[in-house]
A and B are shown apart, each in its own frame.
Chain A
């Protein structure tokens, strides 16, 4: 394709993100491509489970709402959509998109679906693989496996873009690859053009969490103020055929884009900045510069990269027992001491009833629940007791909230506002899988 510049908008940074900012990008952002990142580490395991149990479609629960909001505008303006909202059921997601397009009477609508990320069958034959987090063999969690998905790269998405489908739907792909792919497609860059891959990957990394680069997860009133956070705008990147990258947002939208917001997001979830591994390259951030060139416009330069690795990272979701939680609040004089006593009572009750936990934690929200105990903190006027236990047994998990609620009539004075919850724990660990074991392919889905 012979274009000079591509503008890619970021429509979501997680499955539950707001949808108005994406509509704003479509209406006022002058974007060419809109990418939605909606798949956190554990989300796909949850959706796989929902699908298997028949209590969910297997794709991102907000997919319909997002597509209804943006598809009319995207169709009118020729904006292409790329998203990992397919989660555990990308084909079903594409059929849902086609239904919505039919409802909206959009012409010539079809989806290109990227497949191949689900590698459960491959892993079942390779129990000897090593889990990256614990060093144990994969075999130890294989009987409890709920999902296994390889983080595919931009190349698989480029293949789908070649179809000219208005929407590309994927399951698990690396987040930056959602943004790298349309650049490879538009400019015909190759996988050994490291300078451009580096710039594209850095841009994708800045955009993948949407509002986190435009002033979300940033404000500290009085020190770091952000205008109009209730109308936070989502970002776009202007990328030129020679790899120049400028991050921006719709000027009228809330938020801010500057060196501070971009630097925080550049290092977000980064280990060694000189070796940020994606399926497309190994990004080296050492020489990256960020410069403010206008209001809400930051130029990114100096990204370097090395060749992609011979393996894909695979997230393996597996059942790891149950989490039981209970909460109750205490206020006024001696609140902290009464809440502490309440926590000790619950702990003793759970032991008396013969329940054991892999981890049992007692927090006083308002005092020590986030950063643990610390010296010299003032005693709060009110605190909220939180008891949380992880266990292989559902009955034990249920007992946690039960015993906290029973404090109402049996515990210290003034316990108020109980909450109890039990959920199944889907844990995630990772393995590396040689690329040749993970074939990818594209399937087109058309409206009925």
Chain B
């Protein structure tokens, strides 16, 4: 069964210079635990390969059931130089939500 990040969490993208961050906030504890296991730095970098070179760093905030992904070296450079349409990377939160996680569905919390 295929689960997307959007089934388990919500997300927001922000930028500074030539990196973007995307927070991923789980709807519940079981979703958070599943995401901790499945939504790795490697998987996120693969999903973002067309827009960033990486590396990707993941930070965990357990009490908020949230992770913060920092994705470095956005292709095309920083908000002030890029020729991309989405100069701030505002749309990249939805790229995160579209990531498909293969495997068993998490047990209901």
User: Which residues of A does B touch, CB under 8 Å?
Assistant: 41-42, 132-133, 217-218, 220, 223-224, 260, 263-274, 285-290, 302, 317, 320, 323, 359-361, 363, 365, 369-374, 386, 388-390, 425-430
Q: A266-B64, A361-B83, A388-B83 are in contact. Are A223 and B12 (CB under 8 A)?
A: no
Asked if B55 is at the interface of the complex by the 8 Å CB criterion, the answer is: no
Contact in complex: A323, B25 (CB < 8 Å)? no
**What residues on A are CB-neighbors of B81 within 8 Å?**
320, 390, 425, 427
Minimum Cβ distance to chain A for residue B37 (Å) = 20
Q: Looking across the interface, which residue of chain B has its beta carbon closest to that of A426?
A: B80
**4 tightest CB-CB pairs across the interface, nearest first?**
A372-B50, A269-B14, A267-B23, A264-B12
Contact in complex: A263, B70 (CB < 8 Å)? no
Report the separation of the CA atoms of residues A373 and B18 in the bound assembly, to the nearest whole angstrom: 20
Report the separation of the CA atoms of residues A351 and B90 in the bound assembly, to the nearest whole angstrom: 32
Please report which residues of chain B, range 7-27, place their CB below 8 angstroms from some CB of chain A when the two chains form the complex. 10-12, 14-19, 21, 23, 25
Q: A220-B10, A370-B86, A373-B50 are in contact. Are A263 and B64 (CB under 8 A)?
A: yes
Contact in complex: A270, B14 (CB < 8 Å)? yes
Contact in complex: B21, A267 (CB < 8 Å)? yes
20 contacts between A and B (CB under 8 A): A42-B80, A217-B12, A267-B23, A267-B61, A267-B68, A268-B21, A272-B59, A272-B70, A286-B61, A288-B63, A317-B80, A369-B85, A369-B86, A372-B50, A374-B50, A386-B85, A427-B78, A428-B80, A429-B17, A430-B17
Report the separation of the CA atoms of residues A372 and B19 in the bound assembly, to the nearest whole angstrom: 17
Contact in complex: A363, B10 (CB < 8 Å)? no
Report the separation of the CA atoms of residues A427 and B79 in the bound assembly, to the nearest whole angstrom: 8
What is the size, in residues, of chain B's interface with A at 8 Å between Cβ atoms? 39
Report the separation of the CA atoms of residues A371 and B91 in the bound assembly, to the nearest whole angstrom: 8
Report the separation of the CA atoms of residues A132 and B16 in the bound assembly, to the nearest whole angstrom: 12
Number of A-B contacts (CB under 8 A): 118
Report the separation of the CA atoms of residues A386 and B84 in the bound assembly, to the nearest whole angstrom: 10
**What residues on A are CB-neighbors of B90 within 8 Å?**
217
Interface majority SS (helix, strand, loop, mixed), chain B = mixed
Minimum Cβ distance to chain A for residue B85 (Å) = 5
**What residues on A are CB-neighbors of B64 within 8 Å?**
263, 266, 288-290
Please report which residues of chain B, range 68-83, place their CB below 8 angstroms from some CB of chain A when the two chains form the complex. 68, 70, 76-83
Contact in complex: B6, A223 (CB < 8 Å)? yes
Contact in complex: B21, A270 (CB < 8 Å)? yes
Asked if B51 is at the interface of the complex by the 8 Å CB criterion, the answer is: yes
**What residues on B are CB-neighbors of A132 within 8 Å?**
17
User: Which residues of B does A touch, CB under 8 Å?
Assistant: 6, 10-12, 14-19, 21, 23, 25, 50-51, 57, 59, 61, 63-64, 66, 68, 70, 76-86, 90-92, 94-95
**What residues on B are CB-neighbors of A265 within 8 Å?**
12
**What residues on A are CB-neighbors of B63 within 8 Å?**
287-289, 302
Which of the residues A224, A263, A271, A289 comes within 8 Å of B16, measured between beta carbons? A271
Minimum Cβ distance to chain A for residue B13 (Å) = 8
Minimum Cβ distance to chain A for residue B109 (Å) = 16
Report the separation of the CA atoms of residues A188 and B107 in the bound assembly, to the nearest whole angstrom: 51
Contact in complex: A267, B66 (CB < 8 Å)? yes
Report the separation of the CA atoms of residues A428 and B87 in the bound assembly, to the nearest whole angstrom: 13
**What residues on A are CB-neighbors of B59 within 8 Å?**
272-274
**What residues on B are CB-neighbors of A41 within 8 Å?**
79-80
**What residues on A are CB-neighbors of B76 within 8 Å?**
359, 361
Other than the given A272-B70, A389-B83, A390-B81, 13 more pairs (CB < 8 A) read A42-B80, A218-B12, A263-B64, A266-B64, A267-B14, A269-B14, A269-B21, A285-B61, A289-B64, A320-B81, A361-B83, A388-B84, A427-B81
**What residues on A are CB-neighbors of B86 within 8 Å?**
369-370
Report the separation of the CA atoms of residues A323 and B16 in the bound assembly, to the nearest whole angstrom: 20
Minimum Cβ distance to chain A for residue B34 (Å) = 18
Report the separation of the CA atoms of residues A370 and B82 in the bound assembly, to the nearest whole angstrom: 13
**What residues on B are CB-neighbors of A428 within 8 Å?**
78, 80
Q: Looking across the interface, which residue of chain A has its beta carbon closest to that of B75?
A: A372
Q: Looking across the interface, which residue of chain B has its beta carbon closest to that of A425?
A: B81
Contact in complex: A390, B91 (CB < 8 Å)? no
Contact in complex: A263, B23 (CB < 8 Å)? yes
**What residues on B are CB-neighbors of A290 within 8 Å?**
64
Q: A223-B6, A263-B25, A370-B85 are in contact. Are A270 and B66 (CB under 8 A)?
A: no
